[in-house]
Structure 1
Amino acid sequence: MQRKSSFTGLLITALCAVASGKLREYHYVSEEKTWSEAQQYCQEHYTDLAFISNQEEVYQLLPISRGDWTWIGLHRDANDPTGWTWSGGENSAFRFWKSGEPNNAGGIEDCVMVQWDMRWMDSLCSRTLPFLCYKEKLILVQEMKTWEEALEYCRGHYTDLPSLLSKTEHLQAQSKIEGAQTDHVWTGLIFLAREWLWVNGDHLEYQAWSGGKLPHCPAQYLHCGTLTRDGEHWGTRNCEERRNFLCYRA
């Protein structure tokens, strides 16, 4: 009972202590490109076009902004004309529109740009603008630890266990674990209070479960999430198993 209480307390501390904005590096690229060209450039040189999920990330980007109109990764959802998604495929739960936006002038403004205040404005995707990229700061730790020990290690030596918020981030993490010594690698996924969540508080929107379905009622003890080394999907494992793991580096 004491160990369970300690574990729960550790999780609550972790959920409250780490902001996702500290887990990404943002980069301003002064070359002027269309939105699609900027997306390709960011995916080749960093992780993707800038993904903004909360107010803290807005504050993190403000010193980087140069005052010019600049592309970010948000674009209109092709399957939902009123919806918006990020370049990596994740839904846009956080919104930061400029007053009167999005207005879809002419019915052709499907991509999003920002200026000095980082407020969003929809625009024609064929415009050529500078742009903001981000890079996930991931590292593979080749030590054998339980999920809880991995969480403590990441928070003590780096920043946190990672969230995989899009297909782009999933594939980047997959490339990082090619040298893992275990077939499954711990991530920040945890089943707590009858739901799956990322331990740093990020929203669980993008999902890549084995079998394609969220395990609503995982078997007893299978309450910690992994990324499989060879299968490119998420798994559920006993939290007491000892495995390699990914951390966000500082």
Structure 2
Amino acid sequence: MVPALALEEWRFFIMEYGEQCVMMAGIYQTLQWCVERWATLAHILNAMAHEYITQMLQDKAITDGVWIGLERSMLFTCSPWLWTSGPYVKYASWHQEFPKHPVSMFCGKLLKEEQDRFGWMDACCHERLPFICQVTLFVGTNL
């Protein structure tokens, strides 16, 4: 029997050191940090992933949001939002105040709204924020 990659699972983790100190950086530095660890910034592709990540953040004292792998081109003001790995955003959970700056903000973060709800918000790519990485796990099966 040959093992095969049968199921792809995602694991998300927030970048933290200890309980109080959180690593913060602009989105391009965070993306590089994740990639160096065989991960990427979090891609929230469905409601289940959104719920899982927001549950991770519920007890964190993060007021300005966290980077997720959301970006759009700086060349066109009407460019679509993409995940950093390339696919267009199909599932979305935008913040009630989105867009904050539709002409000058090209990166996306997850930001807390009222009543423990989190939504996506456009942000300056150089803003220093904590971030969420994800790593793909392949579960092998014997065929």
Q: What's the TM-score, normalizing by structure 1? A: 0.45
Match of 2:35 among 31, 34, 43: 43
Q: CA deviation at 1:102?
A: 1.9
Aligned to 2:94: 97
2:9 aligned with 1:32, yes or no?
Answer: no
Amino acid across the alignment from 1:39: L
Instruction: Summarize deviations over 1:76-128 as a string: whole Å, max 9, x none.
Output: 135653300001111100111111312326x3211111134330010100111
Q: Which runs of 4+ in 1 moved over 6 A?
A: none
SS in structure 2 at match of 1:93: coil
| Aligned-residue CA RMSD (Å) | 2.2
Match of 2:49 among 32, 52, 57: 57
Uncovered stretches (5+) of structure 1, i.e. residues with no partner? 1-17, 146-250
Q: CA deviation at 1:67?
A: 4.3
Uncovered stretches (5+) of structure 2, i.e. residues with no partner? 1-6, 16-21
Match of 1:75 among 60, 71, 91: 71
Higher helix share: 1
Conservation of the 8 A alpha-carbon contact between 1:61 and 1:118: no
Q: In 2 relative to 1, CA 138–125 (structure 1 residues): closer, same or farther, beyond 3 Å?
A: same
Q: What's the TM-score, normalizing by structure 2? A: 0.75
Conservation of the 8 A alpha-carbon contact between 1:35 and 1:127: yes
Structure scoring higher RCO (CA < 8 A, sep ≥ 6) equals: 2
Q: CA deviation at 1:139?
A: 4.5
Q: Number of matched residues? A: 122
Aligned to 2:106: 110
Instruction: Summarize deviations over 1:58-89 as a string: whole Å, max 9, x none.
Output: 11112211241110000113565330000111
SS in structure 1 at match of 2:89: coil
Hey, what's the Cα distance between the residues in 2 that align with 1:24 and 1:118?
20
Hey, what's the Cα distance between the residues in 2 that align with 1:89 and 1:112?
14
Q: In 2 relative to 1, CA 46–115 (structure 1 residues): closer, same or farther, beyond 3 Å?
A: farther
Match of 2:83 among 68, 79, 86: 86
Q: CA deviation at 1:132?
A: 0.4
